[in-house]
Chain A
Amino acid sequence: MAYLCSSFISTYTENLHKIKLCVNGRYYEFLVKPNTTLRDLLREKIGLTSPKDMCHGVGACGSCTVILDGRPVLSCLTLAVDCDGRSVETAEGIAESAHPIFEAYIKYHTMQCGYCTPGFMVTAKALLDRNPNPSEEEIREALAGNICRCGTYPMHVIAVKEAAEKLKANAEDKGKGSK
Chain B
Amino acid sequence: MALQEKRPWLWVPPKDSKYIGKRGLPRKDAREKASGKAIYCRDMFLPGMVYAKPLNSPYAHARIKSIDVSRAKEIPGVIDVVKWDDPELKDKWPAWCPNDDVEPIYMPYLMDKAYFYGQPVGVIVVAETEEACDRALELIKRSIEWEELPFNLDWDKFEEYPPAWPDYEKYSPLAKGNLEFPTIEYEFGSVEEGFRQADRVISFTIRKSEEDVWAGVEGSVAISRWVGNYLEIWTNHQNIPPIRRRLAKELNIPESHIEIFSSYRGAHFGGRTFLMSGAIEITSALLSRKFGKPVKFLDDYSDFRGAEHHLGTYRFKVGFKNDGTITAVDVETVYACRGFGKMLLDPISKILESTSIPNVRLRSIYPFVNRNPTICYKHGAPACTVVTMVINRVASELNMDPTEVALKNDGWEGHDIRWVYENIAKKHGFQTERWSLKECIEIGKKLIDWDEKWHPPGTKILPNGKYHGIGFTAMYQWSHRPVLRVQFTPQFIAFGIRVEPDGTVSIFGQRGEGGVAGDTSYSQVVADEIGVSFEKVVLRPFIYKGFHAYQMGGSAGMVSNLYPLVKAARKVRSTILELATLLPDFGGKRIEDLDIKDGLIYEKNNPEKKVPLENVAAVYPIMAWADSSDWSVGMRDEESDYRIRLPALVRQCYFVEVEVDSETGKVDIVKVICVNDVGRAINPDAVNGQQYGGAYMGLGRAFMEAIYYDPLTGVKLNDNLAEYPVLLMNDVKEINCHIVETGLGYGPYGSAGCSEAPGAVLSTIAAPAIYNAIGKWIDDWPITPEKILKALGKT
Contacts and interface: CB of A to CB of B under 8 A. Distances in A.
B693 A112 contact: yes
Given A95-B35, A102-B34, A113-B514, A54 B218 contact: yes
Interface string B24-42: 1011011111111111101
B77 interface: yes
Interface stretch (A78-86, A114-122, A127-135, A169-177): A114-122
A58 B722 contact: yes
Nearest to A51: B36
- Among A141, A145, A147, the one with the most B-chain Cβ atoms within 10 Å of its Cβ is A147
Given A53-B42, A116-B217, A149-B697, A92 B35 contact: yes
B37 A113 contact: no
Contacts of B722: 55, 58-60
Interface in A1-58: 9, 11-12, 43, 48-56, 58
Contact of B729 (A106, A113, A143, A150): A143
Contacts of B379: none
Contacts of A67: none
A91 B35 contact: yes
Nearest to A152: B693
Interface in B26-75: 26-27, 29-40, 42-43
A150 to B, nearest CB: 5
Contact of B515 (A49, A59, A150): A150
A151 B214 CA distance: 13
B218 A114 contact: no
A48 B26 contact: no
Given A107-B26, A112-B516, A143-B729, A149 B267 contact: yes
A96 B37 CA distance: 11
Given A115-B218, A144-B729, A153-B696, A110 B34 contact: yes
B272 to A, nearest CB: 13
A114 B515 contact: yes
Contacts of B40: 49, 52, 115
Given A56-B720, A58-B721, A61-B721, A117 B692 contact: no
A140 B515 contact: no
Contacts of B516: 112
Contact of B34 (A52, A111, A150): A111
Given A117-B33, A118-B34, A153-B729, A112 B689 contact: yes
Contact of A109 (B30, B32, B128, B728): B30
B692 A154 contact: yes
A146 interface: yes
Interface string B500-520: 000000000000001111000
A49 B32 CA distance: 11
Interface of B is mostly: loop
A161 interface: no
Given A54-B218, A154-B692, A90 B36 contact: yes
B267 A109 contact: no
Q: What does DSSP make chain A's interface, helix, strand, loop or mixed?
A: loop
Contact of B720 (A60, A91, A118): A60
Contacts of A96: 35
Given A12-B76, A54-B721, A147-B721, A106 B26 contact: yes
Nearest to B758: A151
Given A113-B264, A146-B729, A152 B689 contact: yes
B300 interface: yes
A90 to B, nearest CB: 7
Given A49-B39, A92-B35, A106-B26, A151 B515 contact: no
B735 interface: yes
Interface string B327-352: 00000000000000000000000000
Contacts of A106: 26-27, 30-31, 34
Contact of B266 (A50, A52, A107, A157): A52
A121 B30 CA distance: 12
Given A52-B266, A54-B266, A114-B33, A151 B692 contact: yes
Contacts of A143: 729
Nearest to A142: B729
A151 B36 contact: no
Contact of B31 (A95, A149, A152, A156): A95
Nearest to B728: A144
Contact of B217 (A12, A90, A115, A156): A115
B217 A50 contact: no
B129 interface: yes
A91 B515 CA distance: 19
Given A60-B720, A150-B267, A150-B693, A141 B30 contact: no
Interface in A63-109: 63, 90-92, 94-96, 102, 105-107, 109
A91 B30 CA distance: 13
A61 to B, nearest CB: 5
A153 B38 CA distance: 20
Contacts of B43: 43, 49
A56 B300 contact: yes
Contacts of B33: 111, 114, 117-118
24 contacts: A11-B76, A49-B40, A52-B217, A54-B217, A60-B721, A61-B721, A63-B217, A96-B35, A106-B30, A107-B24, A109-B27, A110-B34, A112-B516, A114-B29, A114-B33, A115-B40, A115-B218, A117-B34, A117-B36, A143-B729, A144-B730, A149-B216, A152-B692, A152-B693
Interface of A: 9, 11-12, 43, 48-56, 58-61, 63, 90-92, 94-96, 102, 105-107, 109-118, 121, 140-141, 143-157
Report the 3 A-B pairs with minimum CB-CB distance, sorted nearest first: A50-B36, A114-B33, A151-B696
